[in-house]
A and B are shown apart, each in its own frame.
Chain A
Amino acid sequence: MSALLQVINLKTYFYTDAGVIKAVDGISYDLKEGETLGLVGESGCGKSVSALSILRLIPNPPGRIIGGEVVYEGRDLLRMTEDEVRAIRGNRIAMIFQEPMTSLNPVLTIGFQIGETLELHRQLNKEEAREEVIRLLQKVGIPDSERRLDDYPHQFSGGMRQRVMIAMALSCNPKLLIADEPTTAVDVTIQAQLLEIIKELTSRLETAVILITHNLGVVARYVNRMAVMYAGRIVESGPAVQVYGHPRHPYTIGLLASVPRLDQPRKKRLIPIDGQPPNLIHLPAGCYFFPRCSYRLNRCSYESPELIPIDSEHLVACFGNMGD
């Protein structure tokens, strides 16, 4: 089966007074239909910028997608006209963000906002759209949906607003859903509810999902494959079971070792990753993780490792290629 989405050597830089921020510095990955890919990393690693780049939502200035291809169903999104992208955005590829309050228009009712998407992309008339919105709100578990569609965003709680976002995103049966930290702003019990809804609805519609998060637990629960990002690059990728079970990149190893786990006996001491997060304007020559790496070799200081397969689906960008 050919890939639904192919990201090839994507590069997005931000040009600021302080210097050039290489937010995404050459990443490549594939996504099959119906698959869930987790894009994991800490703040500044480029995961959100890479997702925004797919949908050409990078503010220009100061950002610019300076290279690469994003091939969706055989066509490069980066080379389409703005009109062509708009026909796909919200329709074939949908996105939900961390802060629903900034994605929803505060002066329009929920019914109007979701209905707008339906009228635009699915050519429904006002009555059909209203019926469909009620149905969608029910599907995402918003009680009393007939009444609530005339409410405004501020009348919903954070968790409910996020459900509205999910409803809006899935209203046109997209083939791909990009979820950028969808549950970071909500409590853990609401997070569990939201992720279950996303999982249930997307598997029913056979929607592929790119789930962006810094939470290693969320990734373990909800994705088939994952890619770990650091300083704008993918340092390790593969099936989640492989990456968690046999992490090979020192950053992945460090990250997994530093997080306390509820299911294991309490460790005497956590094992942190030394040093500070990278400065994206002044990145080191060679491997970006070098300053914090406890396995480093001489070579790592002046050469940059490529992302190469160590077995059929598991890729790592590391000269030392550590782990068991």
Chain B
Amino acid sequence: MPNDVLIETTDLTMYFPVTKGIIRQRKVAEVKAVDGVSFFVRRGETLGLVGESGCGKTTLGRCLTQLIRPTSGEVYFEGVDLCQLREDELRSVRQGMQFIFQDPFDSLDPRMTAGEIVAEPLLVHTQIRGKELREKVADLLHVVGLDPLMASRYPHEFSGGQRQRLGIARALSIRPKFVICDEPISALDVSIQAQIINLLEDLQAEFDLTYLFIAHDLSVVRHISHRVAVMYLGKIIEIANRDDLYRSAKHPYTVALLSAVPIPDPLVEAERMRILLRGEPPSPIALPPGCNFHPRCPIAIETCREIVPELRQIENDHWVACHLA
């Protein structure tokens, strides 16, 4: 693995069994939430991961940190396969990897003060205590734009945007290298989203962070990412440099996705061509044969119904899983 790659997965899968029966449970089906995903993230970059609900992006994020243990495949973080590590071995690795969650309400313990929330990772992973700890906490709050005097307040006393800043401060407290941001701004008001995006960018520059930015808002992902991966029903169907993806998307799903995003300008909207997909994504329990996307694809041919397309490189750093790309 070239040494500028921080994290890499090969053929990662996460299959959840669907069971029937009360006394004796038997497996009747599988939800293929993540279905053979391979990608990497370079040091210092932001990889955007987009896809609609059910595509597996959140599950993928959790698999990377081993919050859930993948069914198969490898996750190399700084050269070490995390899937092979035991729980106690993972603890020290987890210092390098942190999570920022979507819900600034649910992800903070309502019974802990802001200061306690931010200090907790330091208490778990380091020996820092007392005055030094308090100073570190104050510093972290300041770095995310919160008044250090608010350390004694409880989460419910903060607004949504402030709570998200608190979650970010907590994630940064032990100086991780890699931060998985799982929909960090979707629950926030539009006018606050820009504040948090700017903050994440500033912190990336200041602390040399690498981000996996999971989101469904394509406009925001374009702003913050260097490279973008698109997921559909458990697979990455396209991955490219940001500009290549947005300017010359090759997969029909990506094209439809971009076409569906409304642009805040009525004159531009009046001129746009719209691609409307037929129907809805199928259930991940009953995936169609061949290409996952073929039932809704406007250009599907016979091959698409039979053979699963591989993710292959078509241009420099631009990979697509489509027979027609």
A interface, CB within 8 angstroms of B: 42-43, 143, 157, 159-160, 187-193, 196, 214-221, 240-241, 244-245, 254-256, 258-263, 266-267, 269-273, 276-277
Contacts and interface: CB of A to CB of B under 8 A. Distances in A.
A220 B265 contact: yes
Contacts of A266: 222-223, 242
A196 B219 contact: no
Nearest to B197: A270
Contacts of B52: 187-190
B223 A192 contact: no
Given A216-B190, A240-B266, A277 B222 contact: no
B264 A220 contact: yes
B191 A258 contact: yes
Contacts of A196: 274, 276
A258 B189 CA distance: 11
B133 interface: no
Given A245-B267, A258-B194, A188 B218 contact: yes
A267 B216 CA distance: 20
B81 interface: no
Contacts of A214: 189-190
25 contacts: A42-B190, A42-B191, A143-B279, A157-B280, A188-B218, A189-B260, A192-B259, A192-B276, A219-B264, A220-B262, A220-B264, A220-B266, A221-B262, A241-B266, A244-B267, A258-B194, A259-B264, A260-B223, A262-B219, A269-B201, A270-B223, A272-B193, A276-B159, A277-B159, A277-B189
B194 A244 contact: no
Task: Place the interface of chain B in its size category.
Answer: 35 or more
A164 B195 CA distance: 38
B194 A189 contact: no
B59 to A, nearest CB: 16
B287 interface: no
Given A221-B266, A270-B198, A272-B195, 11 more contacts: A143-B279, A192-B274, A193-B276, A196-B274, A214-B190, A221-B269, A258-B194, A260-B222, A261-B219, A270-B197, A277-B192
Interface string B247-289: 0000000001111111111111100001011011000000000
Interface in B186-230: 189-195, 197-198, 201, 216, 218-220, 222-223
Given A42-B190, A254-B191, A272-B195, A262 B263 contact: yes
A32 B170 CA distance: 52
B161 interface: yes
Contacts of A188: 52, 216, 218, 257, 260-261
Contacts of B262: 192, 215, 217-218, 220-221
B190 A255 contact: yes
B162 interface: yes
The 9 tightest CB contacts between A and B, nearest first, are: A217-B262, A272-B194, A187-B52, A216-B264, A258-B194, A270-B194, A192-B260, A273-B191, A42-B189
B53 interface: yes
B24 to A, nearest CB: 27
Contacts, number: 123
B246 interface: yes
Contact of A187 (B201, B216, B266, B279): B216
B265 A259 contact: no
A270 B201 CA distance: 10
Given A270-B194, A277-B159, A277-B192, A263 B263 contact: yes
A181 B193 CA distance: 19
Given A188-B257, A240-B266, A258 B190 contact: yes
A160 B280 contact: yes
A260 B220 contact: yes
Given A189-B256, A215-B262, A220-B262, A259 B190 contact: yes
Contacts of B258: 262
A196 B279 CA distance: 13
A160 B267 CA distance: 30
A261 B256 CA distance: 17
Interface in B123-175: 159, 161-162
Contacts of A160: 280
B223 A267 contact: yes
B161 to A, nearest CB: 7
Interface string B34-59: 00000000000000000011000000
A160 B256 CA distance: 19
Nearest to A230: B191
A109 B189 CA distance: 36
